[in-house]
Amino acid sequence: MSNPTISFADELRGRTDDQIAMLFTLRPDLISPVPTDITALAARANSMPSLMRARESLNKWQFDILTTICALQEPVSLVEIMSMTSKEAKGAVQALWEIGLLYLENERYRVPTNIRTMVGEHPAGLGPQSNKKIDFAELEAAPKGATEVLQRMVWGPPKGQVADVKKAAPNVRWLIEKNFLIAFDSQTVLLPREVAMHFRGGKIFKDMQSAQPLFTGVARKQKAADLAAIANISTFVRWAEELGHNWSDEPPAALKTGGLGVRDLKRTAEHLGIAENCAAFVAELLYIAGLIVIDTNDQILPTSTFDVFLTRTIEEQWHSLAVLWLETSRMSGLVGKAESKSVAALGPELDRGGTSALKKLIVALLVENPEKDPALDSIKSVVKWLAPTRANDEYVEWILREAEWLGITGQGAISAFGAALLKGDDLGIEAALPKPVDHILIQADNSAIAPGPLTLELANAIGTIADIESRGGASVYRFSEASIRRGLDHGQTGDQIKDFLKKISKTPMPQPLEYLIADVSKRHGKLRVGHNNSYLRCEDEGLIQELLHDKRLEPLRLRKLAPQVLISDVESNELIIALREAGYLPAAENATGILISAPTVRRAKTRPKPPRVITDITAPNPTLITSAVRALRAGERASSHKPRDIPRTTANETLDLLHQYIEERASLTIGYADTNGGVSNRLIDPLSISLGTLVARDHATGEIAHFRIPRITGVSPAN
């Protein structure tokens, strides 16, 4: 390969300010911090981290064109590229040049050096070029099976294995002797690039798709999609509120490795009446929003921010969660996967780079194709073409599922609310929501129907003494022994629960429910658990004997201290949970024997600690880009002036020259000594002199700077 007559830095140096600005826009990582000069810009643009970020912005067609150029002998003309691909390659080549993955040398293209490393050792499955002459006419006299050997390697990988090159089969030895194969080592042979191209008919790829695949799906009416979406929105917000209240009542304990245990996730899912993966998703969003936190005692509790969240409208609540979903890099779909058993909700292992960009891409596709529920295979193929490095079939499925749960989509199609969220427009959720109701309808089977979304106060109160069984336009609540016990734990009495239900129900309270409340309240607190690692007392000595002989309680290591008192080695909280799971209804008491009612509101003592997320680099604003280009050009001019070119001047001479340039409003270059004695050149526009200090605009930063005159070693015109 001949040495280039022009380097990547030289070519960048010749680009216009608008073209450099375009480069910064397409590759925002190049602007932070602003390179000191063009040479530094070229080095950064050719670094592997920057190239990999640029690679993520390419679609499959553009990357295939880049791969094609890497497979050809540089420099490559546009005509050569199109002959190997198609006429549509012209636009892709221009895009690759604008993003700095190609550069021009006399109307022909080269790639920066590290591009070949990024593309790989064997671009498009092609082996190395041969340094020996190959006569393809000799293939007509090839021994039996020789051509078949070559055909198996034509489309890659271009490597073949043999036991011993010297003792290989006759057809393989013939191919090596005739230069159709290269003996790489004693057991490896390579197919030369020229041979592969001969069999490929001069094409780099079997099939190249220059246009985005067709987006197909089932047609949906926008009105139907919006109705489904608004139901999903109200349901999801209710899930968020219910989860916070439930974890306030019965906070789960965090795993030692961090995150939510499988058992607690299952319990939460059962309480909400949803699948475990959906419960993990709800918990993740609340965690990211700082509405729940792992407290200092390892309990997972709502924060004070959750109380603020409850006071907001449904539209504000949904918007805050939906925006976080679009931005977060955490992938809750990984929770519960068989191949990732150690991945827990709220745990540290859920971050996946590029997740946010993939979500925004998928939602944007849905916005571009309204009233269409995409076929799964279709949207996967489109995503693979648009973002081949980010595409993951499972991730696409999970994102579509989460978008539906959130109400960004309805019946699979983009909702008006999801489209407005992406565009930053008014959502219009409040106008679409049905008005909340302030009553329920108690049924004879210990259930209650809410004929619409309940008011916030009523939803919180009913959620303490009943569990949601089903959701929709009308929600169904179920009263059970466990739910009534939860209300009693909150300090309510049986009579208070009855009076509350009679007040809010439009139907009379059935007798079975009254009996249930009376029975649970009578049994509640009969058995009492105290602190001291821990004791258990009961006036019913028969119940004490039952506990001692209950095999389910053997792990608690209960021991009789007195006829009405037992002690255990486990903590009181664990003892209460174990007894409840065994069907008993214990209550806690304090050191004086007074029954402890759980507080109605339990909040974490620590501040919200949303998890760190991997953020995608966003495009800088035009003002910043303009300033960066100006600073880059100034740095380039300054770097062309060497310290030795600036003659040293005395203090008086320096002052005279500075006053002259200030008067003429001319740019100049100064030699400026730092605190360590090093001298650097600074290209400036002098403005004024005050108290031994020169005030000037520094071209490198575009900002006003102050220079101590005693440190100025010399002054020279900018040109």
In a domain, 333, yes or no: yes
- What's the mean pLDDT in 344-366? 90
Kindly tell me if the per-residue pLDDT of 39 is higher than 60: yes
What pLDDT was estimated at residue 680? 77
Residue 539 has pLDDT above 60, yes or no: yes
Of 83-97, 518-532, 542-556, the poorest mean pLDDT is in: 518-532
As a whole number, mean pLDDT of residues 637-653 equals 68
Q: Which of 582, 602, 221 is nearest to 414 (CA)?
A: 221
First to last CA, the chain: 39
Burial zone of 694 (CB within 10 Å; 0-12 exposed, 13-18 middle, 19+ buried) = buried
437: left (phi over 0), alpha (psi -120 to 50) or beta: beta
Over residues 27-50, the mean pLDDT reads 88
Amino acid 195: pLDDT:
86
**Same domain? 19 vs 83:** yes
pLDDT of residue 538: 85
305 located within any domain: yes
Q: What is the pLDDT of residue 109?
A: 94
Task: Indicate if the pLDDT at residue 276 is higher than 60.
Answer: yes
Look at residues 588, 605, 621 and tell me which one is the last residue of a structural domain: 588
- Is 601 a member of any domain? no
Are 148 and 87 members of one domain? no
Residue 188: strand, helix, or coil: strand
Residue 617 lies in a domain: no
Cβ atoms < 10 Å from Cβ of 254? 21
- Region 380-396: mean pLDDT is 92
Q: What distance in Å separates the CA atoms of residue 552 and residue 555, rounded to the nearest whole number?
A: 8
Q: For residue 127, which of 64, 66, 183, 79 has the smallest C-alpha distance?
A: 183
Q: Rounded to whole angstroms, how far apart are CA atoms 62 and 216? A: 23
147 confidence band (pLDDT: 50, 70, 90):
confident
Which has the minimum average pLDDT: 74-88, 260-274, 347-361, 643-657?
643-657
Same-domain check for residues 492 and 552? no
Q: Which helix (H) or strand (E) holds 194?
A: helix 193-199
- CB distance 247 to 286 below 8 Å: no
21 with 46, same domain: the answer is: yes
User: How far is residue 81 CA from its own chain's centroid?
Assistant: 36
pLDDT band at 19 (very low <50, low <70, confident <90, very high): very high
Residue 523 has pLDDT above 70, yes or no: yes
- Return the higher-pLDDT residue of 502 and 528: 502
Q: What is the mean pLDDT of residues 148-156?
A: 84
Distance CA 188, CA 158 (A): 10
As a residue count, the chain comes to: 719
pLDDT at res. 336: 77
Q: Which CATH number goes with the domain that contains 60? A: 1.10.10
**How confident is the model at residue 643, as a pLDDT?**
45
* 347, 313 Cβ separation under 8 angstroms: no
Asked whether the predicted pLDDT for residue 407 surpasses 90, the reply is yes
- Measured distance CA(345)–CA(266) in Å, rounded: 12
Q: How many domains does the chain have?
A: 6
**In terms of C-beta density within 10 A (0-12 exposed, 13-18 middle, 19 or more buried), how is residue 2 classed?**
exposed
On whether residue 623 sits in a domain, the answer given is no
* Model pLDDT for residues 552-580, shown as the tens digit of each residue: 888 888 888 888 888 887 877 788 888 88
> Same domain for 327 and 348?
yes
275 and 238 assigned to the same domain: yes
Q: In the predicted model, is pLDDT for residue 603 greater than 70?
A: yes
More confident site: 675 or 274? 274
622 lies in some domain = no
8 Å CB contact between 240 and 305? no
Q: Express as a percent the part of the chain with pLDDT over 90.
A: 30
Model-level pTM greater than 0.85? no
Q: Name the pLDDT band for 531 (thresholds 50, 70, 90).
A: low
Same domain, 225 and 339: yes
Q: What is the average pLDDT across 443-464?
A: 83
- Based on the fold, state whether residues 234 and 249 are members of the same structural domain: yes
| pLDDT at site 12 | 93
pLDDT digits (tens, 9 = 90+) for 472-501: 667 888 899 888 888 887 778 888 899 999
Q: In this predicted structure, what is the pLDDT of residue 617?
A: 67
Residue type, 605: K
What is the C-alpha separation between 363 and 419, in angstroms, rounded? Answer: 8
On average, the pLDDT of the chain sits at 86
pLDDT, residue 2, reads 47
Average pLDDT over residues 357-369: 94
Last residue of a domain, one of 522, 555, 578: 522
Q: Judge whether residue 1 has pLDDT over 50.
A: no
Task: Give mean pLDDT, residues 251-275.
Answer: 89
Co-location of 419 and 451 in the same domain = no
Q: Closest Cα partner for 219 from 412, 490, 418?
A: 412
- The answer to whether residue 172 scores a pLDDT higher than 70 is yes
- On whether both 350 and 401 belong to a single domain, the answer is yes
Same domain, 308 and 365: yes
Kindly state whether residue 605 falls inside one of the protein's structural domains. Answer: no
Q: Which position has the token pair 């005739």?
A: 178
Q: What percent of the chain has pLDDT over 70?
A: 93
Taking residue 363's Cβ as centre, other Cβ atoms within 10 Å add up to 22
Between the alpha carbon of residue 310 and those of residues 128, 235, 392, 466, 635, the distances in Å are: 65, 15, 36, 19, 53
pLDDT at 419 over 80: yes
Give the domain-ending residue among 367, 400, 432: 432
Instruction: Inform me whether the pLDDT recorded for 711 exceeds 50.
Output: yes
Indicate the residue type of 232.
N
Let me know if residue 281 belongs to a domain. yes
Residue 661: is its pLDDT beyond 50? Answer: yes
- Look up the domain containing 154 and give its range: 136-199
Q: Which residue has the higher pLDDT, 550 or 403?
A: 403
Per-residue model confidence (pLDDT) at position 353: 83
pLDDT band, residue 703 (cuts 50/70/90): confident
**Cβ-proximal residues to 371 (8 Å cutoff; 6+ apart), any chain:** 219, 220, 221, 222, 225, 413
Lowest mean pLDDT among 232-236, 360-364, 432-436: 432-436
Cα gap 631→40, rounded to integer Å: 13
Q: Nearest-CA neighbor of 146 among 123, 175, 117, 126?
A: 175
H or E element: which one contains 671?
A: strand 668-673
Region class of 532: left (phi > 0), else alpha (psi between -120 and 50), else beta = left
Residues 6+ apart with CB under 8 A from 248: 301, 302, 601, 602, 603
Q: Say which CATH number the domain at 668 has.
A: 2.30.30.100
Do residues 547 and 674 share a domain? no
Rounded Cα distance, 524 and 507, in Å: 27
